[in-house]
Amino acid sequence: MHRERSLAIVQAMIQDIPLTHSMSALEFGAGTGIASFLLKDYVKSILMMDSSSEMVKVMQEKITSSQVKNLQTIRFDLEKSDYTGGTFDLIFTHLVLHHIANTEAIFRSFHRLLNPGGYLAIADLYPEDGAFHGSGFNGHHGFETRMLSDKLKQLGMTNISDRLCYTIDKQVSETKTQSFGVFLLIANR
């Protein structure tokens, strides 16, 4: 399911963003790097950033075993520190934003790291009732895309659009399956 979801998100990005082989990209919260591996042939390079050393280890093993040359990993917590290693033409993230406590601060970081004319692509959950993660989850229960768009506009982002790009059907109890919509929001700096 994770690969199918990532494939749907990446295909939507390919359709909606004019990607070129000269673009440098950052995947924020890359996890195991599925999306970056799917996108690697459409851009010059991708830095896969994650705050988990275990996720970075998994990504690095995948890079080594597949001998991919345009993917790099970094263990870095962008929520706690300013990244100073460069800027990017594309920043993308999927199903990570709802785990971020201060979305406005992370948006400021994204804006600072984007080159003029660069693209931000966020895939995440539409508002849901908390069933996606279940009880005890301290993050956001999805987002209204209009609210995210307004925050991005305040930073000077333009050409903001969003659309449904995937639906997750998840068993939330022994007898109940629930559908969760995943949007792709794209903004231009």
pLDDT in tens, 66-107: 999 999 999 999 999 999 999 999 999 999 999 999 999 999
pTM check: above 0.85: yes
pLDDT computed for residue 16 by the predictor: 97
pLDDT computed for residue 68 by the predictor: 96
The per-residue pLDDT of the chain, averaged, comes to 96
pLDDT computed for residue 1 by the predictor: 73
Cα–Cα distance, 144 to 135 (Å, whole number): 21
- The answer, yes or no, to whether residue 7 has pLDDT greater than 90, is yes
What's the order of all strands across the beta sheet hosting 24-28?
Answer: 71-75, 45-50, 24-28, 88-94, 114-125, 177-188, 158-171
pLDDT computed for residue 64 by the predictor: 97
The residues pairing with 114 across neighbouring beta strands, listed in sequence order, are: 88
Q: What is the pLDDT of residues 24-59, one digit of tens each?
A: 999 999 999 999 999 999 999 999 999 999 999 999
The residues pairing with 45 across neighbouring beta strands, listed in sequence order, are: 24
pLDDT interval class at 4 (50, 70, 90): very high
Instruction: Indicate the domain borders of the chain.
Output: 2-188
Cα–Cα distance, 127 to 16 (Å, whole number): 23
pLDDT computed for residue 142 by the predictor: 97
- The answer, yes or no, to whether residue 180 has pLDDT greater than 80, is yes
pLDDT interval class at 169 (50, 70, 90): very high
pLDDT interval class at 2 (50, 70, 90): confident
Region 140-169: mean pLDDT is 97
Sign of the Cα pseudo-torsion (8, 167, 34, 27, in order): positive
- The answer, yes or no, to whether residue 135 has pLDDT greater than 90, is no
Region 102-122: mean pLDDT is 97
pLDDT computed for residue 157 by the predictor: 97
Cα–Cα distance, 68 to 45 (Å, whole number): 10
Collapsing DSSP to helix, strand or coil, 15 comes out as helix
The residues pairing with 90 across neighbouring beta strands, listed in sequence order, are: 25, 119
Taking only Cα atoms into account, the Rg of the chain, rounded to an integer number of angstroms, comes to 16
Cα–Cα distance, 186 to 189 (Å, whole number): 10
Topology (CATH level 3) of domain 2-188: Rossmann fold (3.40.50)
pLDDT computed for residue 74 by the predictor: 98
